[in-house]
Amino acid sequence: MSVKDEDLDKFAQQLQNQIMEQIKKRYSEVVIDHWQNPRNFQKMENPDGYAQVKGTCGDSMEMFIKMKNQTITECTFQTDGCGTTIACGSTATELAKNKNFTQVLAQVSTEAILKNLKGLPQEDVHCAQLASDTLRRALADYLSQKKSPWKKHYRKI
Ligand code: FES
């Protein structure tokens, strides 16, 4: 490695450290952990409920749920959004697991996601809203399929 390469590596490392310091000032450790190690960040084959929602900022989130006896046994997500959106989706999927329809509506709100993440800057609150909305729509999709099972065959996943 030449001296110039070493300088470049050192500069890149310093820059990365500075960026991380800025991120730590804005976000809690929980947010950073979910962002760097997202839980349930994958598509699901043959979900019982599915939704794709576009947020106010233009980012979108998909959510997939598996149900057993009216309870969510698995919940996964995908998003093209930023780190905060990933942290919110990850938290929502964890909160949703092993909850029934009523419990999800009452306990996996935007506020609950924010509380779990130990807060977000005001400009990122819509990311939690997107995760909460997507989960609710996936549940609505599950309920609508129960009433009209043939709909499942026409869904595009
Ligand atoms: Fe768009 Fe997070 S910045 S949903």
Question: What does the pLDDT read at residue 4?
Answer: 81
Q: What band does 152 get if pLDDT is binned at 50, 70 and 90?
A: low
Is residue 36, in this structure, part of any structural domain at all?
yes
* Cα 120 to ligand 1 centroid, rounded to whole Å: 12
Is residue 7, in this structure, part of any structural domain at all?
no
* Cα 81 to ligand 1 centroid, rounded to whole Å: 5
Angstrom distances, CA of residue 107 to CA of 9, 33, 65, 127, 139? 46, 22, 16, 17, 14
Is residue 91, in this structure, part of any structural domain at all?
yes
Q: Are the CB atoms for 90 and 34 separated by under 8 Å?
A: yes
The DSSP-derived string for 58-126 is: S-EEEEEEEEETTEEEEEEEEESS-HHHHHHHHHHHHHHTT-BHHHHHHHSSHHHHHHHTT---GGGHH
Question: What does the pLDDT read at residue 101?
Answer: 87
Question: What whole-number distance in Å separates Cα of residue 59 and Cα of residue 57?
Answer: 6
Is residue 62, in this structure, part of any structural domain at all?
yes
Is residue 19, in this structure, part of any structural domain at all?
no
Q: What band does 150 get if pLDDT is binned at 50, 70 and 90?
A: low
Instruction: Look at the chain and report how many structural domains it folds into.
Output: 1
Question: What whole-number distance in Å separates Cα of residue 110 and Cα of residue 51?
Answer: 17
Question: What is the pTM (predicted TM-score) of this model?
Answer: 0.87
Note the pLDDT tens digit of each residue in 49-105. Answer: 999 999 989 999 999 999 999 899 999 999 999 999 999 999 999 999 999 989 999
Examine the pLDDT at 155 and tell me if it is beyond 80. Answer: no
Is residue 79, in this structure, part of any structural domain at all?
yes
Can you read off the two tokens belonging to residue 56?
């106010």
Q: Which residue's C-alpha comes closest to atom 4 of ligand 1?
A: 127
Is residue 2, in this structure, part of any structural domain at all?
no
Note the pLDDT tens digit of each residue in 3-58. Answer: 688 889 999 999 999 999 999 999 999 999 999 999 999 999 999 999 999 998 99
- Residues spanned by the domain of 52: 30-154
- Please indicate whether residue 89, judged by its CB atom, sits closer than 6 Å to ligand 1: no
Question: What whole-number distance in Å separates Cα of residue 6 and Cα of residue 99?
Answer: 52
* Cα 113 to ligand 1 centroid, rounded to whole Å: 14
Question: What whole-number distance in Å separates Cα of residue 77 and Cα of residue 94?
Answer: 11
The residue count of the chain comes to 157
Is residue 14, in this structure, part of any structural domain at all?
no
Pairing relationship of beta strands 49-54 and 71-79 according to DSSP bridges: unpaired
Give me the CATH number covering residue 125.
3.90.1010.10
Question: What does the pLDDT read at residue 62?
Answer: 98
First to last CA, the chain: 47
